[in-house]
């Protein structure tokens, strides 16, 4: 597989390491860089018109987030996540995110800017759905990270962000076989936003649990259908 041509689209105030990390992360989470793809430092540095030093640091950060695996003699490989690992990630999210949703509802009145960010993300998802796009999952991951940030615990927010990024990389592969994923996410995110705005901690907790259960099942069903399709498709098609 040839390396995609990456575009620098982020603010000029960010460092080169930040730009490379963000661009590669988005490409992995959207499925443009699939599991098993090798990240070669020199071609990436050429595309970004920089030395390999910031590329190496960006890849190190991605490895810390679980999106990349550093393999002996092979270098950096985009992580391929197994079914059992998906279940483990959702178990982690189930332990953490409902509590964060509850706390976000309790803190919402004191954090209007963070609450506005949730509103913007939900509107963006609604616009994406109206446009007919299947969606790449990046807005979904951003929403979940924003809920944790609204809760005021940045340490947990980072863990949630890492977990959702890894899940999004898998969901990108499943999305073709589960095209209603965006519609479902918007449904639950709208309900979550309503509960948070109403300072309804119990409601936010319950909606987040329901959302994660359905999201996990959708990903697993989508990947199962993907595997069935690969077996049934004639060689060469």
Q: pLDDT truncated to tens, each residue of the chain (237 aa)? A: 445 544 444 444 578 999 999 899 888 876 788 888 999 999 999 999 999 999 999 999 999 877 899 988 788 999 877 778 888 888 989 999 999 999 999 999 999 999 999 999 999 989 988 887 655 566 787 898 899 889 988 888 777 777 777 777 666 655 554 556 778 889 999 999 999 999 999 999 999 999 999 988 877 776 666 656 544 544 444
What lies within 8 Å, CB to CB, of 93 at 6+ separation is 160, 163, 164, 167, 212
pLDDT at 166: 73
- Alpha-carbon torsion 163, 165, 169, 171, what sign? positive
**Pair 20, 54: CB distance under 8 Å:** yes
How confident is the model at residue 71, as a pLDDT? 85
Strand partners, 39: 76
What's the pLDDT at 3?
A: 52
> Which of 175, 164, 161, 162 lies closest to 218 in space, CA to CA?
175
Q: What are phi and psi of 68, to 5 degrees?
A: -130, 145
d(CA 201, CA 95): 16
Strands (E), 87-160: none
DSSP 11: -
Structure tokens belonging to residue 95: 């332990």
70 beta partners: 76
**The pLDDT value given to residue 73:** 79
What pLDDT, on the 0 to 100 scale, is given for residue 85? 81
- Are the beta carbons of 47 and 87 closer than 8 angstroms? no
DSSP letter for 14, please: S
């Amino acid at each position: 597989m040839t390396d995609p041509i990456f575009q620098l689209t982020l603010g000029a105030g960010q460092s080169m390491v930040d730009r490379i990390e963000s661009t590669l992360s988005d490409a992995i989470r959207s499925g443009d860089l699939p599991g098993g793809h090798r990240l070669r430092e020199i071609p990436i540095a050429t595309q970004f018109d920089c030395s390999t030093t910031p590329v190496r640091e960006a890849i190190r950060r991605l490895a810390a987030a679980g999106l990349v695996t550093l393999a002996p003699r092979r270098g950096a490989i985009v992580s391929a996540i197994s079914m059992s690992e998906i279940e483990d990630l959702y178990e982690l999210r189930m332990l953490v995110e409902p509590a964060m949703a509850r706390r976000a509802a309790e803190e919402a009145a004191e954090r209007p800017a963070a609450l506005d960010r949730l509103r913007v993300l939900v509107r963006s998802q609604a616009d994406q759905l109206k446009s007919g796009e299947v969606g790449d999952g990046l807005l979904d991951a951003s929403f979940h990270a924003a809920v944790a940030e609204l809760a005021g615990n940045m340490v947990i927010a980072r863990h949630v962000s890492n977990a959702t990024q890894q899940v999004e990389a898998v969901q990108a592969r499943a999305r073709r076989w589960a095209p209603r994923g965006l519609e479902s996410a918007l449904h639950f995110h709208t309900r979550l936003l309503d509960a948070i705005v109403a300072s309804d901690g119990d409601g936010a907790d319950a909606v987040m649990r329901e959302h994660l259960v359905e999201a996990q099942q959708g990903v697993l069903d989508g990947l199962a259908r993907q595997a069935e399709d690969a077996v049934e498709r004639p060689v060469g098609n």
